[in-house]
Structure 1
Amino acid sequence: MSNTTYRAASTALLLVDPYNDFLSDGGKVWPFIKDVAEEVGLLDNLRAITKAVRAAGIRVVIVPHRRWRPGDYECWCHPSPSQQKVMQGHHFAAGDWGGEWHPDFAPQPGDIVAHEHWGSSGFANTDLDFQLKQQGITHVAVVGLLANTCIEATARYAQELGYHVTLIKDATAAFRREMMHSAHELNGPTFAHSIVNTREFIAALPQG
């Protein structure tokens, strides 16, 4: 159970990369995370969390990965292995269905959509920190994809910037169970202030 107090005015849910390619049948990445996602109940947990935080008056912030466009990364000196995969597979392509929001997690009125991040961290080279500080946010809960890449990098960066960080371990997924274990049992405890499951997080929210 979480011992954290989440005040609606100073808490935000960071929903990372809620694209069709990640979360929908027919998405380019979904087949690689499907087993872990279904094992942890990812989609139902994300639905429950987004519903609960909105009912509690907590801000939802969409933290999107760069939508692939022709020419991305091709002339870069040092594209990362993940960026090379995006370049080859055209993941989250701008203008394509895979680069559109999963219909259950599309931005709603009052949500914030941060600038697209090029790498793994939602903070690096974006306006995310600026947007959160302008809203008076001190606590962030990080959910979405993938547990051991964008979720971990975004949450680590949040902690470095002084935010209180919550990881919700069954509201994310990865290619393998070993990656989930590493993200939540080995690495997460070195930077996250709270690591909980969906039920525990929702129980700790203020009443709307």
Structure 2
Amino acid sequence: MQLTAGDTALVLTDPQNDFLSPEGVTWELVGKNVEENGTVEHIEQLLIAAQQAGTPVFVSPHYYFPHDHKWEFGGTLEQKMHEIGMFDRPGPLQMQGFTGSGADWLEQYKPFLEDGKTVVCSPHKVYGPEQNDLVLQLRKRGITKVVLAGMSANLCIESHLRELLEQGFEVAVVSDATAAAQHPEMGDGYAAALTNFRYIAGAVLTTEETVQALAA
């Protein structure tokens, strides 16, 4: 897979405090892997490289509003997200309490994500982008190749990877710019994701390899 100017974009899923900050509600589950992978720093490096190369950035965020908590069923992690108030906001038209909350961007990413150029898509609701406008936004900009990074590896990243492939995009995953929950009973989400990345992605790259490819 060759990254080429004009038709390649950086797509980030959930670059938010609840996943990437020690104060986030999932840190107990994902924090060790985030630190091991250098996920926070690697995402920042990707943002710097994209800015320097003129590569467009798209964010597929995760937000839950009060009406979402009225859902009557869901999978194991989906239910857990609702229970712990992950990515909660007071409503789709309200921003009270958003700054610095678990749903907000990690502070060091704000100069890049709030630059007036980054495309912040409507929120995805479970794991994949089927319910938001990411695919529409990519197609309307003539994007055919996606560099995918963010959180979390075996949930939102893998789900975005699968759907984008089904939609006809070439997709490279940045393996050290993501992380996942590691649970003694449910298993190692990161290891599971890496296995599937190798089987189905167009390329599995490190941050260093991606930065070099975008610069070239």
Residue 82 of structure 1 aligns with which residue? Answer: 77
* Change in 2 beyond 3 A, CA 1:75/1:63: closer
In the alignment, the residues of structure 2 paired with residue 26 and residue 42 of structure 1 have an alpha-carbon distance, to the nearest angstrom, of 16
**Which residue, 159, 173, 188 being the options, matches 2:179?**
173
Deviation at 1:75, TM superposition (A): 3.8
In the alignment, the residues of structure 2 paired with residue 73 and residue 83 of structure 1 have an alpha-carbon distance, to the nearest angstrom, of 11
Maintained 8 Å contact 2:9/2:55: yes
Counterpart check, 1:54 vs 2:60: no
What secondary structure, in the 3-state scheme, does the structure 2 residue paired with 1:173 have? coil
Counterpart check, 1:32 vs 2:29: yes
Residue 189 of structure 1 aligns with which residue? Answer: 198
* Change in 2 beyond 3 A, CA 1:75/1:62: closer
* Change in 2 beyond 3 A, CA 1:118/1:135: same
Deviation at 1:73, TM superposition (A): 3.7
One-letter identity of the residue aligned with 1:60: V
Please show how residues 99-110 of structure 1 align to structure 2 within 5 Å: 99-106=103-110, 107=113, 108-110=115-117
Superposition TM-score, scaled by structure 2 size: 0.87
State the identity as a percent: 31
Maintained 8 Å contact 1:143/1:151: yes
Please show how residues 1-208 of structure 1 align to structure 2 within 5 Å: 4-65=1-62, 67-76=63-72, 78-94=73-89, 95-96=97-98, 97-106=101-110, 107=113, 108-121=115-128, 123-176=129-182, 178-184=188-194, 186-207=195-216
Q: Which runs of 5 or more residues in structure 1 are unaligned?
A: none
Maintained 8 Å contact 2:173/2:203: yes
Maintained 8 Å contact 1:53/1:59: yes
In the alignment, the residues of structure 2 paired with residue 30 and residue 6 of structure 1 have an alpha-carbon distance, to the nearest angstrom, of 33
* Change in 2 beyond 3 A, CA 1:111/1:203: same
In the alignment, the residues of structure 1 paired with residue 148 and residue 141 of structure 2 have an alpha-carbon distance, to the nearest angstrom, of 17
CA distances 1:28-83 after superposition (whole Å, capped 9, x unpaired):
11232111111111111111111001110101101101x2222424243x322222
CA distances 1:76-119 after superposition (whole Å, capped 9, x unpaired):
3x322222112211111114411111112232221101110111
Deviation at 1:5, TM superposition (A): 2.3
In the alignment, the residues of structure 1 paired with residue 145 and residue 193 of structure 2 have an alpha-carbon distance, to the nearest angstrom, of 20
Maintained 8 Å contact 1:5/1:205: no
Q: Which runs of 5 or more residues in structure 2 are unaligned?
A: 90-96
In the alignment, the residues of structure 1 paired with residue 140 and residue 125 of structure 2 have an alpha-carbon distance, to the nearest angstrom, of 23
One-letter identity of the residue aligned with 2:66: P
Maintained 8 Å contact 1:68/1:86: no
